Amino acid sequence: MTILAVDNEAMQLEMLKESIAEVVPDEEIQGFSNPHEALVWSRHHKPEIAFLDIQMPVMDGIRLAKALKTNDPQINLIFVTGYYEEYVLDALPLYFSGYLEKPVNSQKVRQALDNLRYPLVRRNPQKRIRVRCFGDFEVYVDGRALDFSLAKAKEIFAFLVDRKGSKVNGNTICATVYEKQRSLAASKSNLRNCVANIKATLHSVNADDVFIKGWDSYAIDTSLIECDYYDWEENKPYAVRAFHGEYMSQYSWAETTLASLLNWK
């Protein structure tokens, strides 16, 4: 789990980070006094929770929250302020998780983390890779977002997650991911590049075994990943709470699976 903390006052920021660390000592906590730097960092690291001071110069916490929400609609926003009443109408459309009154302490932080709008996976220490399907698709390794340099490589990996370990041939992937955007030969060429990118990306985090490549067939080893979609099917409480009617929102082909989830009996 990656947590972002932003407060332009250095002393308040340290108090906030220390309070968070008391509650979740093993998680990554990144603090910024400059909201612009926090926004740039978040685009690459995809924090799952953001503690934001509301009153900051140049970019206040509401504006920062809107930008973070654009990058990741499933981020949990927790506002930190002594003047909540002045900003509540601006904050409500952001569907935030909660707010903390200053001064912050570990008890307030714990209560906020126990009542997140988008519940987080209780990480299985045996599984380094965690996949989020509800909302936008993301892959995390050891709590950090995995960065695929090719967007289509990430989409193909998502499609294989959707297929839940079944072997998928190249033609099926091309027909689904590329639709009629290019010729089959061009799609196959791009697929080879994406497969190489998937393998290199996983190799960079020592997770080669997750991706299974056969002769014109591709799959993932589902036993090595933790996934909210899979856990939802097993009726695990956190996954049930995490589903809000959105599934791999950035991919049109995922609407078929979404329909089955919405009609699940």
Confidence of residue 158 (pLDDT cuts 50, 70, 90): very high
Helix (H) or strand (E) holding 28: strand 28-32
Q: Which of 38, 115, 103 is nearest to 78 (CA)?
A: 115
What is the residue-averaged pLDDT of the chain? 87
Find the radius of gyration of the CA atoms of the chain: 20
Q: CA geometry: angle at 43 spanning 219 and 254, to 5°?
A: 35
Entry pTM: 0.65
- At residue 17, the pLDDT reads 94
Domains along the chain with CATH numbers: 2-113 (3.40.50.2300), 129-262 (1.10.10.10)
- At 144, give phi and psi (nearest 5°): -115, 145
Confidence of residue 44 (pLDDT cuts 50, 70, 90): confident
- How far out from the chain centre does Cα 163 lie? 20
pLDDT at 238 exceeding the cut of 90: no
Q: Which residue has the higher pLDDT, 239 or 85?
A: 239
Contact between 160 and 219 under an 8 Å Cβ cutoff? The reply is yes
What is the tally of helices (H) and strands (E) in the chain? 11, 12
- At 217, give phi and psi (nearest 5°): -140, 150
Q: Tokens 């027909």 — which residue? A: 175
Reduce the DSSP state of residue 98 to 3 states and report it.
Answer: strand
Q: Which of 177, 179, 180 is nearest to 156 (CA)?
A: 177
Reduce the DSSP state of residue 30 to 3 states and report it.
Answer: strand
Rounded mean pLDDT, 94-121? 80
Rounded mean pLDDT, 151-157? 96
Report how far residue 166's alpha carbon sits from residue 184's, in angstroms, rounded to the nearest whole number.
Answer: 22
